[in-house]
Amino acid sequence: MVSPSYLSRQLQQQMRAAFLQNKELPSIQLQQIFPATLAPKLAAQLASLSFAQNKDPLHHSYREAALPPTLQQQLFSSEMISLLNAIVGTQAVIKDPKVLLFSWKDYTLLHDEHIPKPGIDVILDFTIDLPQHAGGSLVYVDGTGEYTKLSPSFNTLIVVQRKKGVQSFLQYLNHYSKGKKRLFGICTT
């Protein structure tokens, strides 16, 4: 179930235009993507999943959980899929969904030898109260020095089209993130 305001066809056309505005990195962030009464419940369900440490120090450090089918259906409902279709302009097929949890000292790094294939990242951000100066921003880089930085934001849908050579990393979470978590569901389409 998506916030009703995002179901308007006219608004979806505007979102498509906004998405395409940045030719190098088509992207959009939609806040309050889920209704205000539903978002905290979804966040609580995600936070209660069983997370396993995934650490390869030269590449990343975070905890990861599989997205159960029932929760996947709530996050990627038919309304959400329609919205994604409208934004990206093609039929969205959810691939490789997972839930990532970052806390103090976690991060991901760029890796010259494993640049991901072009694709579309769909991120549902459920981060609560992470201070701006705590790190944890999602940064997309294109290898020429140009970058786009996406700060944590609760109940936000982020859609990013990665073209050839574009990678992302999650900034190291510093000690001001102590006690907080950077939580989001991520998949590609």
Contacts with another protein by CB under 8 A lie at 56-58, 105, 107-110, 133, 135, 139, 169, 171-172, 174-176
Which residue's CB is nearer to another protein, number 127 or number 171? 171
Minimum Å gap between C-beta 57 and another protein is 5
Minimum Å gap between C-beta 172 and another protein is 6
Minimum Å gap between C-beta 63 and another protein is 18
Q: Is 102 helix (H, G, I), strand (E, B) or coil?
A: strand
Minimum Å gap between C-beta 114 and another protein is 13
For residue 163, give the nearest of 51, 26, 65 by alpha carbon.
26
Which residue's CB is nearer to another protein, number 91 or number 112? 112
Which residue's CB is nearer to another protein, number 15 or number 134? 134
Which residue's CB is nearer to another protein, number 117 or number 175? 175
The conformation of residue 105, written as its DSSP 8-state character, comes to T
Beta strands 156-162 and 107-108, pairing class: unpaired
Minimum Å gap between C-beta 67 and another protein is 25
Query: By the 8 A CB rule, do 73 and 148 touch?
Result: no
Backbone angles phi, psi at 188, to 5 degrees: -115, 165
From the number of C-beta atoms within 10 Å of its C-beta (0-12, 13-18, 19+), residue 30 rates as buried
Which residue's CB is nearer to another protein, number 13 or number 132? 132
d(CA 71, CA 161): 24
CA 103 to chain centre: 16
